[in-house]
Structure 1
Amino acid sequence: MLTEDGRHLYVSYDEYHNLIEKLAIKVHQSGWAFDTILCLARGGMRPGDILSRIFNVPLAIMSTSSYRAEDGTVQGHLDIAHYITTPKGQIAGRVLLVDDLADTGVTQQAVVDLLRRSYQPIAELRTAVIWTKGCSTFQADYSVEDLPTNPWIHQPFEGYDSLTPDKLLAKWKV
């Protein structure tokens, strides 16, 4: 649900999963066949996992991080892992790169540039996101929702960003 001022988008688990299914439909209807899904951890892990199951292809993971301050609400320095975790040895062939959103677009562009420069076995690379903000400098090949007002997206699992083991113990009175 988008707030009246357009500054916040609140997404339930059901809405989140419906959007991932819509993303799967867009990819499928394009007719493009791919060999592997490469998700960007952390935001792309949930969509990547679901798409991997729907398309029955291996899921590879590349860790990136830029939103660490203030419980994940402030973007900082972009870190990209040096290695990709994949069940097939080395990532190769046609790869669908998945993330949750194109916010500024900096992460996706940096990863695409790195993959094209350093991973020659990738024959073709396409990108997919659930949301694309209006301020993004990156346009994914597949996207479900365009957000021209650049709202902060409140994803259903964000409560875990500020949950500590001690808070969990108190919640469950263990």
Structure 2
Amino acid sequence: MSDLYVSWEEYHAKIEDLAAQIYQSQWEFDQILCLARGGLRIGDLLSRIYNKPLAILSTSSYGGKDFQERGKLTIAHNITMTTDTLGKRILLVDDLVDSGVTLARILEWLKEHEEFAITEVRSAVLWFKACSVAKPDYYVDFLADNPWIHQPFEKYEKMQLSDL
């Protein structure tokens, strides 16, 4: 597996590319639902660009050395949002689709929660890996060689408070 190193500048440019791609599709959505942690920054910026409310669903599936070991997917019990409802059309945002398990499971999870009354969900990520079992609706880069992506904020995962 190769490695892909992404700078802050590249990271922000990809978010802008993703925003433009969604805009060009002319699809209208009511709210952005980001998957935390990876989708937090992307969801925040898209929420600002589109002036749409941001909801957050915490998920976790990576751990181990340098957070590079995929484990069991854990999904929070609740969505955090500032609106009364999610709305009918949701843009689901994450940083990447690796195995595709998280995307597929979250789409199922949303359907299981009929109280949200969602009629359409589209997904948006920066990176879509070829090894994925699920395909996002919007993505910036298709990665045929399935590299490990080193995002610019990862330095904080290895940092100790005493390093500050």
Specify the TM-score bucket, using the shorter chain as the normaliser.
over 0.9
- For residues 72-87 of structure 1, what are the structure 2 equivalents within 5 Å? 72-87=67-82
- Distance in 2 (CA, whole Å) between partners of 1:23 and 1:117 is 28
Structure 1 counterpart SS, 2:78: coil
Partner residue, 2:51: 56
Partner residue, 2:154: 158
Partner residue, 1:171: none
- Distance in 2 (CA, whole Å) between partners of 1:78 and 1:124 is 23
Structure 1 counterpart SS, 2:122: strand
- Distance in 2 (CA, whole Å) between partners of 1:167 and 1:134 is 37
Structure 2 counterpart SS, 1:48: helix
Does residue 1:31 correspond to 2:26, yes or no? Answer: yes
Structure 1 residue runs of 4+, over 3 Å off? none
For structure 1, the residue ranges without an aligned partner over 5 or more in a row are 1-5, 169-174
| Displacement after TM superposition at 1:92 (Å) | 2.4
Partner residue, 1:138: 134
Code of the residue aligned with 1:156 in structure 2: it is: P
Structure 1 counterpart SS, 2:120: strand
Identical residues among aligned pairs (%): 52
- Distance in 1 (CA, whole Å) between partners of 2:85 and 2:4 is 37
For structure 2, the residue ranges without an aligned partner over 5 or more in a row are none
- For residues 6-155 of structure 1, what are the structure 2 equivalents within 5 Å? 7-119=2-114, 120-155=116-151
Q: In terms of mean alpha carbon deviation, does 156-165 or 36-45 score higher?
A: 156-165
The RMSD of aligned alpha carbons is 1.1
- Distance in 1 (CA, whole Å) between partners of 2:21 and 2:100 is 20
**For this pair of structures, how many residues does the alignment match?**
163
- Distance in 2 (CA, whole Å) between partners of 1:92 and 1:57 is 11
TM-score (ref. length: structure 1): 0.90
Q: For 1:51-95, what per-residue CA distance to the aligned partner results, in whole angstroms no more than 9, with x for missing partners?
A: 000000000000000112112111111100110001003322110
